[in-house]
Amino acid sequence: MGKAALGGLVLQKPRDKALAMSTLYETGRPSMIPGPDQIIECPHCKTLARVRTLISGNTFGAQWWTDGKMIAPMLPVSPAITRCRGCGRYFWISQAKVVGEIPPWLVSPDALNERLAELMPSDQAARLKREWEKFPPEWKAAERVRELTEMEYLEAIQNGMAHNREQERYLRICAWWAGNDPLRFSNPERAPTILQRSPEALRNLERLLELLDETNPVERLQKAEVLRELGRFDEALQLLEFDFPDEYKKVADLIRELARRKNPLVQEVL
């Protein structure tokens, strides 16, 4: 299986495009073209934030993992949910009001001087500075939305932010991925001591098992990986006794081999 086929491994394309995750991508490799930064306001307190958009991207240099996460420098994905820096409340970005946009080629004068002054004629740099100065100061001061931590994702669920199965699954998978992040680039010898899941994280994985549909090949593979990471190797192997579509067989074989070796750690798919 080529790596491009791994793109749909964990998540099917959601009905709500705002829930698109980094495992979903096109197989082609267009140039990465940034879109405008959207300026949004918190639905609760109207604090402004910036959301990066992308016109096109590619998976060149991407890394994939057995839990389904993809890290692609040329295909950054903005989170679907965030926490307001003003009031501290969670909100879905798709439900926030967009109050304006800043073109991707406009940067602050300081950044322009630092990065681009030597790369463009002085009159062009001056024009960009004038364009930048036209935007409201509060737009330019707005900070980018950030991804939540593992515990924040779980707190968002407790606060009632999951309004349907798809949203709950998204939040729980994001919490799972965030919990695995310390393992992805750590020394393998230190991995067992790093992976000490909290009771809340364990309950999250148990609930995720309930949400995943074994009759769906993608979710069956997810469920097998969750079971493996929970140390329930025999149950994981039983789920993997399935005729997966060709594009998932390489990943299924890797998870099967790790389960047979009783290895519960997330692994990169090479």
Residue 25 pLDDT class (50, 70, 90 cuts)? very low
Tens digits of per-residue pLDDT, 203-236? 999 999 999 999 999 999 999 999 999 999 999 9
Can you give the length of the chain in residues? 270
Residue 13's pLDDT is: 38
Q: What is the mean pLDDT of residues 113-127?
A: 66
Structure tokens at 15: 């009905």
Q: Are 23 and 77 in contact (CB under 8 A)?
A: no
pLDDT at 2: 37
Higher-pLDDT residue of 264 and 115 is 264
pLDDT at 26 over 60: no
Classify 92 as helix, strand or coil: strand
Q: Are 93 and 80 in contact (CB under 8 A)?
A: yes
Pairwise CA distance, residues 143 & 238, whole Å = 47
Q: What is the pLDDT of residues 167-187, one digit of tens each?
A: 999 999 999 999 999 888 876
Structure tokens at 106: 């406009």
Range of weakest confidence among 15-24, 29-38, 242-251: 15-24
Cβ-count burial 232-259 (b if 16+ within 10 Å, e if not):
bbebbbebbeeebeebbebbbebbbebb
